[in-house]
Chain A
Amino acid sequence: MPRFMMIAMLIAVVAGGAFAGGQPEAAETESVTISIAYPVAVDAPVAEIFDAYAEDFMEQNPNVQVETVYAGGYGDVKTTIQTTIDGGGEAPALGVMLATDLFDLANAQYIEPMTPYVEAMENSEEYLDDFLPAFLSNSYYMDDVWSLPFQRSAVVMYYNADMLAENDLGVPTDWETLGETASALTQRDGDTVTRWGIEWPSGWPYWLFQPLAIGSGQNIVGESDTEVYFDDPAVIDAIEYYNALSAEYEAMPAGVQASWGNVVPNFVSGNTGMIIHSSGSLSNVLSQADFEVGVAGIPGPDGGSYSVPGGGNIYMTAGLSEAQKQAAFDFAVFITEASRAADFSIQTGYIATRESAFGEEAMQAYISQNPQAGQTRDVLATAGKELSVQNLGEVRNIFHNHLQAAINGDMEPAAAMAEAQRAADEALADFR
């Protein structure tokens, strides 16, 4: 008998332990607790910056507790929020996710519109107008405002100005001069390349490829959220030019370049003359390069300067209480205020999301010391629309598969894009 009782007690303890790991009771009395899930996508002390903002906010709003949750990359934040909501739990009140994820998130009802809170603000019109239009355009869907631009960037070309001067070269202005400049900067030691003229990552290719397509005459995405133009001749020309940079100009590694993490170290160490990358790497590049760094948009076939915006917005997740929603919105407004937008931009290299941020003293001082920061913002003036459509995951995957096949030489660009268009039309059929 005693042995049986001991075993029964053991089972009871185990069963009790399984149920005991619950969550502590939330202090419902006065304070509201919200958390914000954010990714770290560039080499910058984002975690410290967020913690500082949270502390400042909590000082000004003593009845709100803000927890900052570092969740990995953009995909991890989205997965965290999806699984928590699907599992019936309470997701973080705010999430920083890709601006282009809007349609899928809204359709699946993972996020709440911010419209009622925006309209309740004084000067809501001016408030929205202060955001850079290239960034705010990603926040609208079904007549609602769903997100606030936060860590936004643009595709830029970094070039080693000293290296160009040494070789008597000007800044490339069109496709031909870009190819020739890159070719001139490439150095070889026998058969091995010791310095590439240009490196253009294509492991996750749609974003860095879009400026080429836009410059060529047709963006891969249209104005509506269900139209893509993969098989347009201008897009095919852009792919053929990308391939020509390695095949004819011999200035770029051949095939798909899975080098997003490598090109900045290559550039700052002088092993590459020009790179195409996010403006979010600017701070990192400037702090490490011991030569003059130039920043420009991607040239088009006959000149001009092209780019696309990218990066993340702050979304409000579904399933929160009224008090939490108001607190969450207040925090989102707090961290997108002009002074903080300027501060965030200076510390990380992301482009400040508000016009008034560029008027802040700290920002003006920073730009006068680092004119490149102002140049990244200028690049935005002629930016096209980032690929953002319904069923984005599938459409983007289709585009990636076929674009990479065209770059690796598995398929001819025209055939690859025709197939991509067919598959994308099928994926978008349910949404048209």
Chain B
Amino acid sequence: MTRRGNPLLPYALIAPTLLFVLVFTVYPTISSIVGSLFQHRLNIPRFREPVFYGLGNYIDLFSSDEFRMILGNTFRYVVTVVPLWVVTALFLALWLSRPRFARFRVAMFHPTMLPMVSAATVWMFFLTPDYGLWNEFLRFFGYSGPENWVSNPDLSLWALVFVAFWKDAGFYMIFYLAGVQNLPNDVYEALKLEGAGPLVTFFRFTLPLLRRTTLFVTTVAVIGAFRIVDHVFIMTQGGPSGRSALLLYHLWRVRFDSLNVGQASAITVILIVMLLIFTVTNFLMSERRSTDA
């Protein structure tokens, strides 16, 4: 028996969100795709109005050594920081899920509440060679290598990784806390009765039960890793020699420093495509596993 109700009701309910998504996601995406096909450079009079350029912006980007290096930097950054976030968040959530650890949870979450610019500025002082707290800490544990974290070409990217990791591990812990607190108690009681050891409990029960949460956290973490570049502005400005430049930072530089609107749109499209491929793959892989089981 069908329910009586206005057939338009569902559409009316989703209309506000749909409007938002159309205006703030769909329209800018289409606009960027279209804009990337034009040569539009604000500081050259003959290109101040867009001139059709086909795939020229993409060819220019991929044939540039600097852009390929930036893609490499971004890839290494994301592939390092996301597992660090996810694994740390999971362990923090498992460890601190009991009520008496509330203060520790707040302590772990506190860096997330800071604006990234403030956090990066404070870390700039920690990372000072010779007398910065970070280097003193490392020396205490016997580290005797280079200390110039921000301007050493081999270290600058990892300095960014560490600051981003420190800042947001607590944020992803919150999602895992929600997942952990929803784990079924009866499963764990049964496991205790059976005498299952901690490793078995974790790998064969806890992890699979948290798969949906992990999917969500990983997706949000990857998007966050691409999106948060404030620390690049404060700490390294993409240097030295572009070795710590990330994709979104490069996008800002191309759009606002070089005033190359067409190329900035092309970078936007590349970014969207990368994130889309990742999210869809992640989702499909996770869903396939759940249908197999």
Contact = CB atoms under 8 A, between A and B. Distances in A.
Interface of A: 4, 7-8, 11, 14-15, 75, 78-79, 82, 103-104, 107-109, 192-193, 202-204, 253, 255-259, 261-262, 390-394, 397, 400-402, 404-405, 407-408, 410, 430-431
A405 B241 contact: yes
B137 interface: no
Contact of A203 (B6, B9, B130, B239): B239
Interface in B44-66: 44-45, 48, 66
A393 B253 contact: yes
Nearest to A395: B258
A262 B150 CA distance: 13
Contacts of B148: 253, 255-256, 258
A330 to B, nearest CB: 29
Interface string B123-155: 011001110000000000000000010111100
Nearest to A394: B258
27 contacts: A4-B6, A4-B9, A7-B12, A7-B13, A11-B15, A79-B256, A103-B43, A108-B48, A108-B259, A193-B130, A203-B150, A203-B237, A253-B129, A257-B151, A258-B240, A259-B128, A261-B124, A261-B125, A262-B125, A262-B128, A390-B43, A392-B257, A394-B257, A397-B258, A401-B240, A405-B241, A408-B240
Contacts of B13: 7, 11
B94 interface: no
B99 interface: no
Given A108-B259, A408-B240, A258 B16 contact: no
B202 to A, nearest CB: 42
Given A104-B259, A108-B259, A397-B253, A11 B239 contact: no
Contacts of A430: 44
B32 interface: no
Most chain B C-beta atoms within 10 Å of own C-beta, residue among A8, A82, A107: A107
Contacts of A393: 253, 256-259
A400 B16 contact: no
B43 A410 contact: no
B16 A14 contact: yes
Nearest to B129: A253
B71 to A, nearest CB: 16
B5 to A, nearest CB: 8
Contacts of A392: 257
Contacts of B36: none
B239 A400 contact: yes
Contact of B43 (A107, A203, A259, A397): A107
A4 B11 CA distance: 12
A311 B231 CA distance: 24
B265 to A, nearest CB: 13
A253 B130 CA distance: 10
Interface string B190-223: 0000000000000000000000000000000000
Most chain B C-beta atoms within 10 Å of own C-beta, residue among A109, A392, A393, A397: A397
A267 to B, nearest CB: 14
Contacts of A75: 256
Nearest to A409: B153
Contacts of A108: 42-43, 48, 259
Nearest to A403: B241
B236 A7 contact: no
A11 B124 contact: no
Nearest to A76: B233
B258 A404 contact: no
Most chain A C-beta atoms within 10 Å of own C-beta, residue among B15, B66, B128, B240: B240
Given A107-B45, A253-B129, A391 B258 contact: yes
Contact of B48 (A82, A109, A203, A259): A109
Given A108-B259, A258-B150, A192 B42 contact: no
B259 A258 contact: no
Contact of A255 (B16, B124, B152): B152
Nearest to B256: A79
Contacts of B258: 391, 393-394, 397
B16 A404 contact: no
B179 interface: no
Contacts of B111: none
B241 A408 contact: yes
B242 interface: yes
Nearest to A404: B240
Contact of A401 (B43, B241, B256): B241
Contacts of B129: 253
Interface in B139-190: 148, 150-153
A410 B259 CA distance: 29
Contacts of B253: 393, 397
B158 to A, nearest CB: 15
Given A108-B42, A203-B237, A408 B256 contact: no
Given A391-B43, A408-B241, 20 more contacts: A4-B6, A7-B9, A82-B256, A107-B45, A109-B42, A203-B237, A203-B239, A203-B240, A255-B152, A256-B151, A390-B43, A391-B258, A394-B258, A397-B257, A400-B241, A401-B241, A404-B153, A405-B153, A405-B240, A410-B153
Contacts of B128: 259, 262
Contacts of A256: 148, 151-152, 239-240
A19 to B, nearest CB: 11
Contacts of A104: 42-43, 259
A26 to B, nearest CB: 26
A78 B16 CA distance: 34
B242 to A, nearest CB: 5
A-B complex: 8 closest residue pairs judged by Cβ atoms? A393-B257, A108-B42, A256-B151, A404-B240, A258-B151, A107-B43, A258-B150, A405-B241
